[in-house]
Amino acid sequence: MYLEHYGLRELPFSLTPDTSYFFAYGHYRDALNTLLVALHNGEGFIKLTGEVGTGKTLLCRKLLNSLEAPFHTAYIPNPALTPSALILAVAEELGMALPRNQGAHRALKLIGERLIELAAEGRQVVLCIDEAQAMPEQTLETLRLITNLETEKRKLLHVVLFGQPELDQLLARPSVRQLRQRISFSHTLRPIDQAGLIAYVQHRLLVAGSQGGVQFAPAALRLLYQGSGGYPRLVNILAHKALLLGYGQGIRRIGANQLRAAIADTEGAMRPGPLARLLPRHWFYFGAAGLITLGLTLSGFSTGVF
> Model confidence at 197, in pLDDT bands (50, 70, 90)?
very high
How far apart CA 260 and CA 264 sit, in angstroms, is: 6
Q: What is the mean pLDDT of residues 205-231?
A: 96
According to the model, what pLDDT value does residue 235 have? Answer: 98
Instruction: Give residue 298's pLDDT.
Output: 36
Q: How confident is the model at residue 26 (pLDDT cuts 50, 70, 90)?
A: confident
Same domain, 142 and 235: no
301 in a domain, yes or no?
Answer: no
Nearest to 99 by CA among 116, 83, 87: 87
164 and 31: one domain? yes
Q: How many angstroms separate the CA atoms of 22 and 59, rounded?
A: 7
Average pLDDT, the chain: 87
pLDDT in the model for residue 93: 94
What is the domain count for the chain?
Answer: 2
Residue 299 lies in a domain: no
How many angstroms separate the CA atoms of 245 and 251, rounded?
9
pLDDT, position 286: 43
Same domain, 184 and 203: no
**Predicted confidence (pLDDT) at residue 224 exceeds the cutoff of 70:** yes
Shared-domain flag, residues 101 and 235: no
Q: What is the CATH number of the domain that holds 74?
A: 3.40.50.300
Number of Cβ atoms within 10 Å of the Cβ of 136: 15
Q: Is 213 helix (H, G, I), strand (E, B) or coil?
A: coil
- Over range 121-135, report the average pLDDT: 95
Q: Tell me the pLDDT band of 289, cut-offs 50, 70 and 90.
A: very low
Q: Are residues 171 and 227 in the same domain?
A: no
What CA–CA distance (Å, rounded) separates 192 from 183? 26
* Residue 298 in domain: no
Q: Residue 101 has what pLDDT?
A: 78
Whether the pLDDT of residue 304 is over 50: the answer is no
Q: Is residue 271 part of a domain?
A: yes
From 168, 189, 210, give the residue that closes a domain. 189
- Averaged pLDDT for residues 211-220: 95
Amino acid type, 139: T
Instruction: Report the percent of the chain where pLDDT is more than 70.
Output: 88
Q: Which residues contact 282 (CB under 8 A, 6 or more apart)?
A: none
Closest CA to 146 of 102, 88, 185: 88
Residue 131, in any domain of the structure: yes
pLDDT recorded at residue 213: 92
290 pLDDT higher than 60: no
Mean pLDDT computed over 250-265: 96
* Residue 250 within a domain: yes
pLDDT of 152 = 59
Q: How many CB atoms lie within 10 A of CB 63?
A: 24
Based on the domain organization, do 183 and 197 belong to the same domain?
A: no
Q: What is the structure's pLDDT at 151?
A: 64
45 neighbors 147 (Cβ within 8 angstroms) = yes
> Distance between CA 159 and CA 260 in Å, rounded?
43
Domain boundary among 170, 189, 208: 189
Q: What is the mean pLDDT of residues 281-305?
A: 40
Has residue 143 got a pLDDT over 90? yes
Residue 274 has pLDDT above 80, yes or no: no
Claim to verify: residue 172 and residue 34 sit in the same structural domain:
yes
Residues above pLDDT 90, as percent of the chain:
72
Domain containing residue 232: 3-19+193-293
Do 178 and 30 sit in the same domain of this protein? yes
Quick one: 278 and 261 in the same domain?
A: yes
Query: Domain for residue 90, yes or no?
Result: yes
| 103 vs 85, residue with greater confidence | 85
Angle, CA of 5, 8 and 12, to the nearest 5°: 115
The DSSP symbol for 295 reads T
Local confidence band at 154 (pLDDT 50, 70, 90 cut-offs): confident
Based on the domain organization, do 180 and 54 belong to the same domain?
Answer: yes
At 171 the pLDDT is 94
Is there a domain that residue 306 lies in? no
Nearest to 217 by CA among 247, 181, 242: 242
**Does 198 score more than 60 pLDDT?**
yes
Is residue 53 located within the same domain as residue 114? Answer: yes
Among residues 143, 158, 189, which one ends one of the domains? Answer: 189
Confidence of residue 188 (pLDDT cuts 50, 70, 90): very high
Helices marked H in the chain: 3-6, 26-40, 56-66, 83-93, 104-120, 137-147, 166-171, 177-180, 194-207, 218-228, 232-249, 256-264, 275-278, 281-285, 291-293
34 and 150 together in one domain: yes
